[in-house]
Amino acid sequence: MSSTPDLTGYKALSFDCYGTLVDWENGLIADLQPILSQLPPSHEWNLRPLTAVEHFDAHSRHLWKEKPTQLYEDNLAESFTLLAKEAGVSVVPSDVATGPSRWEPFPDTIPGLQKLQKHYKLIILSNVSNSLITSLQERYSNKPPYNFKFDAILTAEQIGSYKPSHNNFHYLFNHAKEEFNVDWKKGELLHVARSLDADHVPAKELDFPSVWISRGGDKPDKYGTGGNLEELNRENKLAFLGRWDSIGDFADEVERQFAAKEEKRE
């Protein structure tokens, strides 16, 4: 980014959850062990488990398009089966379908969200099912030491499609307007996400402002499931306003800007 955007004019933030707030890739690597353990140590997926995650994600994204109303639990289970077949190993029992309810938030997530909640309404826009994200929220929301709860949670199950479908973002826009009187067309809503393909590409297509939480994805060896930054830039598919390494770093910048604005008033 050439300059730091003004973050103080927004009334609400919308978030992708898995990959942005929750450590999706490392959680998934653990749940892919029933496949990886059947492969030799020298296999590329064991040498770089993120490669297995990338292949899994390719199967999952294909199913998003082919089966847009499929529950995310079923998407994960079917993607696991397809990955096992791709690897040429036995399809064995797996807990991957319940993974999103168990995977851990990044250490900076909850403290960062607590800071952001002082300034904005916070809305989740996730590709998971209602039950999975409800289970996650029950673990971490509004309980010591977290004392935090999202103002709204919107899922692919509610919407009937998966991001990057524009339908999901229009659902978000309508909900933000109806429930919080936040109008994205007036520049009152900002999207905060890790995934370039699923979030930032459609954001540019819709002229919807966004910021990138890169989580290391600005480095070629860590592109992972977030998308190929170099390729997408070359194709002019991205227009996020700024990049931060983590939600914690982003929240610190928000706090700095609001404090500076308050000082000017005094």
Q: Write out the catalytic residue numbers.
A: 16
How far apart are the C-alpha atoms of 164 and 203, rounded to whole Å? Answer: 9
Question: Do 194 and 214 meet the contact criterion of CB atoms below 8 Å apart?
Answer: yes
DSSP helix/strand/coil, 244: strand
For the stretch 170-175, contacts whose Cβ atoms lie closer than 8 Å and that sit 24 or more positions apart, written own/partner, are 172/14, 172/123, 172/125, 175/123
How far apart are the C-alpha atoms of 43 and 55, rounded to whole Å? Answer: 14
**Exposure of 37 by Cβ count < 10 A (0-12 exposed, 13-18 middle, 19+ buried)?**
exposed
How far apart are the C-alpha atoms of 45 and 54, rounded to whole Å? Answer: 10
Angle between helices 247-265 and 109-116 (to 10 degrees): 30
